[in-house]
């Protein structure tokens, strides 16, 4: 392939993989390049054990207001040798639909031991772990943790991300003092910057004044 043809091929391929976001949405990396991400739903490392529909690239998309708030938090964390790490942010409705279909197949318990060992799969809807609608799909909800910039390791929060059980409740008592301290610090800095926590997941926060409170989007992450 000639050089000019190769360059044209690369440009076309890049254009196909990128997209023009709806008005009011941004790629977080365009606002702050220091916030890292690990979108588990593009991999097999999640509670289903397979890549999730709509996740095509490890890139974080959020509402503009959410991105601005996260940048502010990151700036507050940097003098403390900490940084944000995003597990999930905007989530297309097709991914939520994927979760719902999976939850109805009770025999599919591939990842039960790691993610929901003490919760019957038949109870995932009733307990609120799976729902037909998600705040993530509105673009202003994030799942995240804190990383020590000196060691490049996540802070110990007492339970892993996406673990279904009481152990993940923000105020769960049967964890160490350090784990409680880490959870409360994350909760405090998010609250102080306009986010509302979720009672069942220490990692889950939604911007209080979210710009799309009743709109559920479905464009893919790419």
Q: For residues 195 and 70, is the Cβ–Cβ distance under 8 A? A: no
Residue 197 backbone dihedrals phi, psi, to 5 degrees: -80, 170
Q: For residues 206 and 140, is the Cβ–Cβ distance under 8 A? A: yes
Query: Which residues contact residue 74 at a Cβ distance below 8 angstroms, ignoring those fewer than 6 apart?
Result: 32, 34, 35, 83, 84
Longest CA–CA span in the chain (Å) reads 64
Q: For residues 48 and 102, is the Cβ–Cβ distance under 8 A? A: yes
- What six digits make up the tokens of 177? 């003092």
- What six digits make up the tokens of 72? 């502010």
| Rg of the chain (C-alpha set) | 18
CA distance 216 to 127: 22
**Which residues have a catalytic role annotated?**
201
Give the closest residue to 110 by CA, choosing from 55, 166, 50, 53.
50
CA distance 37 to 87: 6
């Amino acid at each position: 392939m000639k050089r000019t043809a190769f360059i044209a091929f690369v440009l076309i391929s890049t254009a196909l993989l990128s997209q023009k976001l709806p008005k009011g949405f941004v790629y977080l990396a365009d606002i702050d390049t220091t916030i890292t991400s690990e979108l588990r739903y593009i991999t097999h490392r999640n509670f289903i054990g397979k890549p999730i529909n709509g996740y095509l690239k490890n890139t974080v998309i959020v509402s503009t207001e959410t991105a601005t708030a996260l940048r502010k938090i990151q700036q507050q964390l940097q003098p403390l040798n900490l940084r944000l790490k995003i597990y999930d942010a905007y989530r297309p409705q097709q991914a939520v639909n994927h979760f719902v279909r999976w939850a109805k197949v009770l025999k599919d318990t591939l990842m039960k031991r790691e993610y929901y060992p003490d919760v019957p799969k038949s109870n995932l809807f009733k307990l609120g772990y799976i729902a037909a609608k998600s705040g993530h799909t509105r673009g202003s909800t994030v799942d995240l943790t804190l990383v020590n910039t000196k060691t490049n390791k996540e802070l110990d929060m007492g339970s892993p991300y996406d673990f279904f059980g009481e152990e993940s409740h923000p105020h769960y008592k049967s964890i160490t003092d350090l784990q409680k301290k880490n959870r409360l610090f994350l909760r405090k800095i998010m609250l102080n910057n306009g986010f509302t926590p979720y009672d069942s997941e220490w990692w889950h926060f939604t911007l209080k004044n979210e710009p799309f409170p009743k709109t559920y989007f479905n464009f893919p992450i790419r």
